[in-house]
Amino acid sequence: MTIKLDVQDAETGEVSRDTLIKRYSAVRLETEELCRPLVTEDYVMQTSPDVSPPNWHLGHTTWFFERLLLEPYLPGYSPHHPLFNYIFNSYYESLGPRNDRDRRGFLSRPTVQEVYDFRSAIDRAMGDLIETVDEPHWPEIAAMIELGLNHEQQHQELLLMDVKHIFASNPLRPVYREAGDRKRAQGTLPPPMEFAEIPGGVTQIGHGGRGFAYDNEGPKHRVFLNDFRLMTRLVTNGEFLVFIQEGGYDDPRWWLSDGWATVRERGWRSPLYWAEADGTWMVMTLRGYEPLVLDEPVSHVSYYEADAFARWAGRRLPTEGEWEHAVCSRGITPRTGNLLEDRAWGPRPANADQITPNELQQLFGDVWEWTQSAYLAYPGYRQAAGPLGEYNGKFMSNQMVLRGGSFGTPRSHIRATYRNFFQCDKRWPFAGFRLAQDE
């Protein structure tokens, strides 16, 4: 796995120890900051096999540094606790046996305090490592640290997803963060759908050159795309509500066969976290249980629901190549997206003033966008040997690619080439979609 850093000096490609220490501290602090609203009891909940307890996220991200940096590289380092490798290894077959994923919610010990102590100890040792490692090893160490920080950033979003699921599973419906002055426009009709024209041809997608990226984003390679049209904003709650009201969940015509089976088996009648009570649609959010806001992007839909909506609307989902090509050819960056640092705790409505036939918005942040591309290896991809090879490569089956990040994704973590992936039936990610159509 070629790891490329985004804290590199633009010209020399070098990374200073100071810069990396600052970034290390910032990322690590952010994780703890995200946990601040939790009480001790919240930390140890696992409300579905997909969910991990916050305490486990805190420990696992720390274990990653211990296991992949301190143990191999810090002379004389011995593990903080002999069983933490067993407890906090997630899925790395090459790093030894581990506690089953669906038993993470059985871990009342180590306690929350003990895991925070583990974090502190590892942070001190990481400081030692960064300061003392000799120059020849520095680039390799720096790259691994950057990977560890990106790993932790991924878990920051997972943490928010999981906290939301934990709170939504509780009859008392706790509030994660108060909404502040968020303008609620639940009665507002969504602005009309517009589609931007994107010329195709042979183009390049995937990551190349400097800056950090995961192995699955590369190699950069050529693809041929037809001309296509891409919806300028995300599909809204209001639009999805029409699909529901017109019987979308009852009509097999719109559904993939697997999707239709899933709808019936699980009794899906709306996106996850929606509930109809006395004729009003309510929705569980990180800011509490509140009436559905019609012009906000729809969220917590599966691939099946996104795809069914697209068929019902006579459109389709974009491919990941189309999405990336649109973003790159228009020069769109994560700079203005509604991302984690914005502290919105949910997607925001599109900018109605900005809705012009050809101006794309909401591509970064708000919600991840389902694409109709399966998560598979790019041409020329080779999985690394050892534990890092397990990071992404072994998940290349039965999953679809999502692009663009959400309100829960750190800004320094997302980029145009970033490939997120989930199974078609998953609904707990912050995932929505936009439509595409052939020219």
Token pair, residue 112, equals 């929350």
The one-letter amino acid at 394: K
Half-sphere exposure of 79 (CA within 13 A, CB side): 13
Q: Assess contact for 372 and 307: CB atoms under 8 A.
A: yes
> From the CB of 64, what's the least distance to a copy of itself, in Å?
18
> From the CB of 50, what's the least distance to a copy of itself, in Å?
13
> From the CB of 216, what's the least distance to a copy of itself, in Å?
13
Distance separating alpha carbons of residues 262 and 313, to the nearest angstrom: 21
Token pair, residue 154, equals 């991924």
* Binder of a copy of itself out of 202, 267, 277, 353 (CB under 8 A): 202
42 interacts with a copy of itself by CB under 8 A: yes
* Binder of a copy of itself out of 26, 29, 189, 376 (CB under 8 A): 376
* Binder of a copy of itself out of 73, 260, 289, 312 (CB under 8 A): 260
61 interacts with a copy of itself by CB under 8 A: no
185 CA to centre of own chain: 26
Alpha-helical (H) ranges within 200-302 are: 237-245, 257-266
SS (H, E, C) 47-60: CCCCCCCHHHHHHH
Q: Assess contact for 107 and 53: CB atoms under 8 A.
A: yes
Which positions from 119 through 178 interact with a copy of itself, judged by CB under 8 A?
166, 169-172, 174
422 interacts with a copy of itself by CB under 8 A: no
373 interacts with a copy of itself by CB under 8 A: yes
Which positions from 235 through 254 interact with a copy of itself, judged by CB under 8 A?
252-253
Q: Tell how strand 368-374 and strand 431-432 pair up.
A: parallel
Residue with tokens 């050159």: 209
> From the CB of 12, what's the least distance to a copy of itself, in Å?
31
* CB nearer to a copy of itself: pick between 239 and 320: 320
Looking at residue 39, the DSSP 8-state letter turns out to be -
| Per-residue binder mask for a copy of itself (CB under 8 A), 275-304, x = binder | ----------------------------xx
Q: Assess contact for 350 and 360: CB atoms under 8 A.
A: no
188 interacts with a copy of itself by CB under 8 A: no
> From the CB of 395, what's the least distance to a copy of itself, in Å?
5
402: β partners? 370, 420
**Edge-first strand listing for the sheet containing 228-231:** 195-198, 228-231, 436-438
Residues that bind a copy of itself (CB under 8 A): 39-47, 55, 83, 86-87, 91, 93-94, 99, 103, 105-112, 166, 169-172, 174, 202, 221-226, 252-253, 255-260, 303-304, 307, 311, 316, 319, 372-374, 376-377, 379-380, 383, 389, 394-398, 400, 424, 438
